[in-house]
């Protein structure tokens, strides 16, 4: 599939990481939706789309879907294939369809055999297929004989019947959501029974799921979770009880919600901010301290700017500061993004699609984390605990796979941290950072804080970037101790 001029230009920019300007990547990533919609799932490294029958198709697929809705068979256009099922159209790439038809039971089809298989499924006979390809009828007959031999079948009718059955079974499987999760199922599998699950309604009618633990009458501390949600276990419960803390975790739009509505970055930040304000207003009812992990600092800053009477203080933990660099960069997944884009243009409809390639049950998902955090011994220790534990990384895989919208916007929030907005706040705040943070080293953060006149960063010599396990507890202890002092 030829790459568009837009994508080619973007790849040149991406290849220059870390010198790509943050705002250029944001504009490019969101602009890609004008060419192709966000995939609804993946088959290996290739995207799949599910278009409900009662929904108008995206302009990128309009011609393909129009043809699909006018027939009962598969149709193709520009390297994409669509099949109408009972309640939706499924769109796949050529490689996905080839994999479905192959199904591992015979020698792989040649390109010519696959082309013939697709033509048969579209309802063409051998003469029509030969005419469409501009080749002789006997050549098509030879391809038919070769294809039927690989399928261990006799005759064109048997081949069509076999291919149709494989196609229908394969597409039916792709029509199912590839992952599903909700707060209750996550809690049942991974949260201690002392964690309370709540739901509140924001002023715009949006529901905000909330996790809460610690004494109900304890001192409230609102915690904004990082991109990769940390495990909450018995040690975290014990700490909350010992410190007398009521820890309130509002969950941002898209977390554990693989089918969440797709929002522009500004709209997601606004919705996350509204959720935090609703929690402060309804669950606390007074000014409360906020602990903001990593990219969520953008949400805490925006909430304090809009409703300063509700935010008593902000503890920024492992803050991402891409927007404050002289040459802003995005440290996560840059090389993988380029590689995946080169393999299939449609996958790169959004930056977060990069992760889809790695979310599988083999070692690639673990290696991705090990590669990203390879320069931090502390973070590698946390990753080892996740993957060497009883569930072998399934918890981390679950919160990653089922939270694409949340992760995508946390990724963007690295580049949208408004230092000018922070500087204008009349709210006490401190920055707490790990000395072993290789993603955003504390010395560079210290320079930014000094430039804008903030208090010096508090550096913990033992922490890395991932606020998991003991580093989660250390961060909470810091926020609690600092709050007592203020």
Q: What is the pLDDT of residues 390-405, one digit of tens each?
A: 888 889 988 887 887 7
pTM of the predicted model as reported, rounded to 2 decimal places: 0.65
3-state secondary structure (DSSP) of residue 81: strand
Residue pair 92/77 in contact (Cβ under 8 Å)? The answer is no
Beta strands in 75-216 (DSSP E): 75-77, 80-84, 88-93, 196-201, 207-213
Give strand pairing partners of 211: 197, 249
* CA 261 from centre of chain: 13
Ranges of CATH 3.40.50.1820 domains, the chain: 183-485
Number of continuous H segments (helices) and E segments (strands) in the chain = 21, 13
Strand ranges (E), 125-231? 196-201, 207-213, 219-224
In this model, does residue 3 exceed pLDDT 50? Answer: no
Strand residue runs (E) in 252-338: 288-293, 311-317
CA distance 132 to 126: 10
When the candidates are 3.30.160.150, 3.40.718.10, 1.10.10.10, 3.40.50.300, the CATH number that belongs to 38-175 is 1.10.10.10
Q: What pLDDT band is residue 357 in, cutting at 50, 70 and 90?
A: very low
Torsion of Cα atoms, 295 then 379 then 241 then 255, to 10° = 40
Q: Give the pLDDT of residue 38.
A: 65
The whole-chain average pLDDT of the chain stands at 81
Q: Start-end ranges of CATH 1.10.10.10 in the chain? A: 38-175
pLDDT value at 141 more than 50: yes
Q: Which helix (H) or strand (E) holds 186?
A: helix 183-190
Peptide bond into 18 cis (omega under 30): yes
Tell me the three state secondary structure of residue 357: coil
Residue environment code for 303-323, b if the CB has 16+ CB neighbours within 10 A, otherwise e: bbbeeeebbbbbbbbbbbbbb
C-beta separation of 415 from 319 below 8 A: no
126: three-class secondary structure by DSSP: helix
* pLDDT of residue 194 exceeding 60: yes
Helix or strand holding residue 93 (H, E): strand 88-93
**Tens digit of pLDDT for each residue in 23-42?**
544 454 444 444 667 667 66
- CATH fold of 183-485 reads Rossmann fold (3.40.50)
**Pair of tokens at residue 433:** 């950072």
Structure tokens at 412: 């963007």
In tens, the pLDDT along 232-278 reads 999 999 999 999 999 999 999 988 887 677 777 788 899 999 999 99
Torsions phi, psi of 220, nearest 5?
-75, 140
- Contact assessment for residue 222 and residue 250, using Cβ atoms and an 8 Å cutoff: yes
């Amino acid at each position: 599939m030829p790459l568009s001029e837009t994508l080619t230009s973007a790849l040149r920019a991406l290849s220059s990481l870390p010198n790509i300007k943050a705002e250029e990547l944001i504009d490019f990533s969101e602009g890609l939706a004008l060419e192709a919609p966000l995939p609804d799932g993946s088959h290996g490294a290739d995207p799949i789309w599910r278009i409900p029958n009662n929904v108008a198709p995206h302009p990128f697929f309009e011609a393909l879907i129009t043809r699909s809705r006018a027939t009962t068979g598969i149709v193709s256009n520009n390297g994409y294939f669509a099949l109408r099922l009972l309640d939706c159209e499924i769109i796949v790439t050529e490689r996905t369809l080839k994999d479905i038809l192959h199904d591992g039971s015979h020698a792989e089809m040649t390109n010519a055999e696959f082309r013939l298989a697709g033509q048969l499924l579209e309802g063409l006979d051998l003469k029509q297929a030969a005419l469409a390809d501009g080749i002789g009828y006997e050549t098509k007959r030879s391809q038919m004989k070769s294809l039927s031999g690989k399928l261990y079948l006799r005759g064109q009718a048997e081949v069509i019947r076999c291919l149709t059955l494989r196609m229908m079974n394969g597409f039916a499987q792709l029509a199912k959501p590839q992952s599903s999760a909700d707060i209750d199922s996550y809690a049942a599998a991974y949260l201690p029974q002392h964690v309370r699950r709540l739901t509140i309604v924001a002023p715009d009618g949006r529901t905000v799921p909330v996790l809460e633990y610690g004494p109900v009458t304890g001192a409230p501390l609102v915690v904004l979770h990082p991109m990769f949600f940390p495990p909450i276990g018995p040690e975290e419960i014990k700490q909350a009880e010992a410190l007398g803390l009521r820890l309130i975790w509002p969950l941002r739009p898209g977390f554990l919600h693989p089918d969440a509505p797709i929002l522009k970055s500004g709209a997601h930040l606004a919705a996350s901010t509204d959720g935090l304000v609703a929690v402060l207003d309804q669950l606390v009812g007074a000014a409360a301290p906020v602990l903001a992990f990593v990219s969520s600092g953008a949400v805490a800053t925006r909430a304090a700017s809009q409703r300063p009477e509700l935010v008593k203080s902000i503890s920024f933990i492992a803050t991402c500061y891409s927007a404050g660099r002289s040459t802003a960069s995005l440290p996560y997944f840059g090389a993988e993004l380029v590689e995946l884009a080169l393999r299939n243009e449609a996958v790169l409809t959004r930056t977060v699609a990069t992760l889809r390639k790695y979310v599988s049950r083999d070692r690639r998902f673990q290696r991705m984390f090990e590669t990203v955090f390879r320069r931090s011994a502390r973070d590698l220790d946390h990753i080892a605990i996740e993957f060497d534990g009883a569930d072998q990384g399934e918890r981390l895989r679950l919160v990653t796979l089922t939270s694409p919208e949340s992760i995508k916007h946390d990724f963007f929030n690295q580049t949208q941290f408004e230092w000018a907005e922070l500087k204008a706040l009349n709210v006490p705040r401190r920055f707490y950072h790990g000395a072993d943070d290789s993603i955003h080293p504390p010395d560079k953060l210290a320079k930014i804080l000094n430039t804008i006149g903030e208090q010096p960063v508090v550096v913990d010599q033992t922490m890395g970037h991932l606020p998991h396990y003991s580093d989660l507890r250390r961060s909470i202890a810091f926020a609690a101790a600092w709050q007592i002092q203020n």
